[in-house]
Structure 1
Amino acid sequence: MTRERLFLLLAALALIAGGWWLSNNTEWVEEDVPRPATGEARDNPVYAFEQILRKLGMHAEHHEQLDRMPPEGARLVLLSSDWSLVPERAAQMRAWVERGGHLVLLQGADWDDTGLADWVPVEAVDVTERAQRERAAADAAAKAKSEAKGANGKSAEKAEDAENAEDAESADDEDDEEDRDVAFSEPPVFGGIESLDLCSQFTWSRRLRVKPGHRADWTLTQASGRQGVRVAQGRGSVTVLNAGATIFQGRLPFGCDLPLLLTATVQADRGATAWIYLNEKREPLTPWLWRTGWIAIVLGLLTLAAALWRAAVRFGPRLAAPPRLRRSISEQVRGMGAYLHRHGRDALLGAQQRALEEAATRIVRGYGRLPLADRVHAIATATGVARDDLYTAMSSRFCTRAELPARLQLLETARRLLLRRR
């Protein structure tokens, strides 16, 4: 026995012991876990009812808009009153019914608060007080029966129980039958079904009745009144159920005889079309505006941007700053210093003399043909400067550093006086 084989044997024994303990301390049972709805069954609240109609050979579809009416001869089930938000929709429904359409209304969908109440020959009446009176009478009868049993004594009760055992069982069956919500159809649906067990699907505080002057083609009666009525309207019909919209919106398989009631309500027929209106669902406003008028939106945004840009605060003047006609003193000093550094005093003096000559040529008539003495005389006469000093400044080609400022000032003064005179 090697060490490796010993370890393998111990591991096998541990696994066997663990399996034995797990089998003795656990219990394996099967449990049904409902799976959530997926696909269309998750998003469509009337998916189960549509499947029933399709199994019967009908074309069933649900709608969230009523921009157009169903084809003639179709069935239209209204599960909401949102359609009344669009004007003239009630008149369109009436014309569609009179051409052969079959309209199904639910009392819980508040259709009697819309334009349909003006022409649908069915109305709901409140029976709350009558129901309370019936319940009080039933309670009083039950109390009287219990008091009568107490007066007979225990021996009489035993004898009665022994003799009428079968009667008690039949009575229990009758009580069960009364507890169930049985409705009676007139005429029978689908050829021979007269009674339907509907499991408390209707509103007990109201009952339906036909308005005077009209006759019901089909009624569903339960307890003390009618829970369903169908009345002919033109070539079509209007069916009203005293129930809420949830009667068509069961996600689980329907119980009791509810599928029979719903198929009878829509007058199920192979090849017919059934429209189920859920609510009025429209495209959001912003995507709809962009899809239908994006050109106008783009132009409006561009116009708004231009207006904001025009009215915005600027960080500078509205117009460019005009050029300055006179150089600053600092610029003049820097320029003169650079010129002297490059060309010397004589070049600066010559430049100032040429500036005076150009100004005099433009202002003094025949200046270019005059000799130097006459030129000096003409400029001195025009400006009032000293003629001898002006002659010296205009005729010299060289000067010392001390003489340069005075001669430049004299020449520039004469030039400016000539320009001012002009």
Structure 2
Amino acid sequence: MAALGVLCVAVFAAWWLHSFERVERRQPLPPAGEASYNPLYALRLALRADGVDATSRQRLDLAAHPPGPLDTVLLLGDANTLAPREVDALLAWVDGGGHLLVSTPRGRRVAAAPAAALLPRLGIELRAGGGCERLHLPGQDPHVEFCGGTRFIPRGVDPELAWGDFAAGFVFARLRRGDGVVDVLAAHDFLENGALDEAPHAALTRQLLDRNYGRGTIHLVYAASMPALWRLLLERGWMAWAPLLLALVAWLWMRLQRFGPVLPSPPQQRRSLLEHVQASGEHLRRYGHAALLHAAVRDAFLDRLRRRDPLAAALDGGARAEAIAARTGLAAADIEHALRAPRPRDGNDFRQRVARLIDMRRRL
């Protein structure tokens, strides 16, 4: 039995070694550290490896980090969110020989940028739509760029270099200002981590940075300025707040007071004992129990008669009717008729007998 087990194990091991092969595979891990929040981290490392002085930061902060006349500043965020004083200082630095790279804002904007913003100051007018642009490199497969970018049109300025046309819009334009230049692109995504390792992206990046390459410091600003919270919610959060707003409007409409004719006030609850007694009597009469009501009125009359005239109350039949007639002044026949039970289902007879009993009781 043990020999059979050893044989099975040996057969399984031989089959396993024959059917499977040990291989190594590299599994890329998600970025960690600065690479997880700095989209220009790979570009900074590549520039430093090439001997170029490069720094990266989240804010432009010209007061703390003033660029030199031969430096390059790359703004990865929305350039239209810069403060007017920063725009003035940045353009003054460009006039002195600086090289500025900016991109148009991503996505469709609800409101136009103010006239004091950077792109309007440069004469850049945004355009909607547009497709991709082809990029050909020797020895490389056909490539396309700027597919999701926002194209633009330069107004009142003649670009030194341009990529695109006035019909479909431009994806790149180099604008001269004084001794420096400003490069405007429809997108900067080819400069970010994970895209820079492609040969077309690396070649395009090298061409864009060529003007002051190796002559000064390259400042990589990946968050030029954060727009106001209400603007972010209005432009990018509408898919969340618009349905909530519609739901709120529908809820308010459901609970809105309707306008129309004036309705009467709802009747208040009544607690009068007389009304309850009257309602009970109406209920008994409606369901054929009028004899009970007549008997109650007759008993009330006889109780008073016993108190006022015991002798007449002790009599019976016609003698009692005569005695009551002598005391009340009514006809004996009417008194005898009122003391008898009413005919069933005869409302008039019931009312006449009860009315006569009440009159007789009042006359005692």
TM-score by length of 1: 0.43
- Greater Rg by CA: 1
TM-score by length of 2: 0.48
Q: Tell me: higher relative CO, structure 1 or 2? Use CA pairs within 8 A at least 6 residues apart.
A: 1
Higher helix share: 1
